[in-house]
Amino acid sequence: DADVTQTPRNRITKTGKRIMLECSQTKGHDRMYWYRQDPGLGLRLIYYSFDVKDINKGEISDGYSVSRQAQAKFSLSLESAIPNQTALYFCATSDRLAGLLNTGELFFGEGSRLTVL
């Protein structure tokens, strides 16, 4: 089984619908992140969480919300989806020590492809 699991892997929805993307990890890492990837724009950080009680906005948080239900679970919600939220979404984790050393090693899930019509 994958260390970082995202569900669903693919989702097509309509404008205005509420969507939740879920992420769970078995790596035991305390830090979790949501990124989106768009062609020509690379990966951009949406939200990140250092632990269950610590959630922070990234560079493109508008239109998104998150919930850290447990150390191993971090979900991303689109309250009212719009077409420009069509993208590939990645959940990632990192270890606090790696963060202190600034090694930059994020462990990514396989992505959730969201299409908003």
Partner 1 sequence: QKEVEQDPGPLSVPEGAIVSLNCTYSNSAFQYFMWYRQYSRKGPELLMYTYSSGNKEDGRFTAQVDKSSKYISLFIRDSQPSDSATYLCAMTARDGGTSYGKLTFGQGTILTVHP
Among the residue ranges 19-27, 39-47, 60-68, 75-83, the one whose residues contact partner 1 (CB under 8 A): 39-47
Q: Which position among 24, 25, 72, 109 is part of the footprint of partner 1 (CB under 8 A)?
A: 109
Based on the shown chain and the rule CB under 8 A, indicate whether residue 63 belongs to the binding site for partner 1.
no
Based on the shown chain and the rule CB under 8 A, indicate whether residue 111 belongs to the binding site for partner 1.
yes
Cα 112 from Cα 29, distance rounded (Å): 20
Based on the shown chain and the rule CB under 8 A, indicate whether residue 1 belongs to the binding site for partner 1.
no
Q: Do residues 25 and 4 touch, judged by C-beta distance below 8 A?
A: yes
Cα 110 from Cα 61, distance rounded (Å): 21
Based on the shown chain and the rule CB under 8 A, indicate whether residue 114 belongs to the binding site for partner 1.
no
Based on the shown chain and the rule CB under 8 A, indicate whether residue 58 belongs to the binding site for partner 1.
yes
Site for partner 1 in 71-100 (CB under 8 A): 90, 92, 94, 99-100
What stretches of the chain adopt beta strand conformation (E)?
4-7, 10-13, 19-25, 31-38, 42-51, 54-57, 65-70, 73-78, 87-94, 107-108, 112-116
* Alpha helices (H) along 1-117: 96-100
Q: Which residues of the shown chain bind partner 1 in the complex (CB under 8 A)?
A: 4, 31, 33, 40-45, 48, 50, 56, 58, 90, 92, 94, 99-100, 102-111
